[in-house]
Each structure stands twice: as structure tokens, then as C-alpha cells.
Amino acid sequence: MIGRSFLVAAACLTLVVPAAGAQRRAPHCTPPDTTGEWYRKQREWLSDVKHDWSDEALRNSLVSAADLMATPLAAQTGVQREDSTIATTDTAVLGRLRTLAATRGSTWPTRSVVGAAGVRAVWILVQRDTALQRTALHRMMESGPDEALAADVAVLEDRVRLQSGRKQVYGSQLRTVNGRLVPAPIEDSAHVDMRRDAAGLPPLRSALCVLR
């Protein structure tokens, strides 16, 4: 059973916010602009229509394990609860990712291997395993912007940094303080929106509107 809270609050954070939810938002809270460049770029990257992939079987097992079968890939707004996690019964696919991570020179499931849906599935699945997250982050950074979505790299890096006791750099990891969701400590917070823009993420303030 997939952890619904994770799916809703973190990974494939949908931008189709129900109207009722919008009414509950605090005043002056403007959600991310879905006509912006960040959104267009992500949608383009996440579309599997124009790209091919080489390992259909692995893609299918990843997409199935991450429960991405039914829903189209949503754009990444770059905020999630730092304690969000996912439960999956498919330990075989996680085992395969662990083996790939541990094998030097192995072909990591990037976009040309498993397509955008497969890459997003990897991103979701690795979040339940700290060691796997580190390797996935390293492999995603190495593979470059055509193979890994910069927005996913950014959120995963924040997660890894917080786990190692460092501050996050994109403001993507939120924690509850006095009943309110706030970003965990950010390094060089003055440039956080510039970094988010470079990673194809909307400004932090607007992204927070979606979760608050």
C-alpha cells in the first residue's frame, strides 16, 4: 500500500489544488504560477512522448512499485515534509536499485534507460533508503540535465544534506514548528530563490502555499 500522505504531500505534488483547499489558504498566499517558465520546462522534461528508453521491463517494475501507473507525472514544486516516506511491498525493485547502486559502472536508471516516468519512480522509491538516496543523488548529478530532472535533484539534495546534519539549499524540506509547516534551516537563504529558479522550481514562498 502506497503511503498516500507521501504521494500527496511530497513526491508528485499535484498542482491541481482543489478549490476548497484554495479557500482555506492564508491571505496573500499566491500559489506557483503554472504559466511560468519553470512549469513549462518541467512539463516538457516529464513528457515521455518525445523520448525513447532502453529498458522497458525495469521501467515497468519501477513505475508499478512507485504506483505511478494511473496518474500522469506532475510538476515538482520543490517542497515536501522532511519526514515523508513511502511504503511499498515491492522489495524486489528496491533490491535491484540497491544492487545497481553498489555495482561500480552499472547503468543507473536515467531517462534514456527508463524514461521520465521511470526516473520519477526511482526518485520516489529511493526516499525510503538513506544510503540509496546518496547514491541516487550522485548518479543523478553525474548524468546531467538531460538524464535527471534538475528539480528532482534539488529536492533530493536537500533531503540528503539534512540527514547528514547540514542545512538545505533549496528550502524544499519542511518541518512542523508550533503547528505550522516551515522550511528546515536554509544555507545562504538570500539566494534560495535564485537556486530554485536555476533548478526549475517556483519561488519558495509560492511553493509553500501548496502545502500550507
Provide the binding-site residues for another protein, judged by CB under 8 A.
141, 144-145, 150, 153-154, 157, 166-167, 169, 187-188, 190-191, 194-195, 197-199
Alpha-carbon dihedral of residues 72, 78, 84, 85, nearest 10 degrees? Answer: 50
Identify whether the C-beta of residue 6 lies closer than 8 Å to the C-beta of residue 86: yes
Pick 55 or 197: Cβ nearer another protein: 197
Residue 156, C-beta contacts closer than 8 angstroms, at least 6 positions apart: 123, 126, 127, 133, 136, 137, 140
Pick 124 or 140: Cβ nearer another protein: 140
Identify whether the C-beta of residue 191 lies closer than 8 Å to the C-beta of residue 12: no
Give least dist CB 79 to another protein, A: 16
Q: Which three cell numbers stand for residue 132?
A: 540509496
Give least dist CB 188 to another protein, A: 3
Pick 125 or 199: Cβ nearer another protein: 199
Pick 61 or 172: Cβ nearer another protein: 172
Give least dist CB 199 to another protein, A: 5
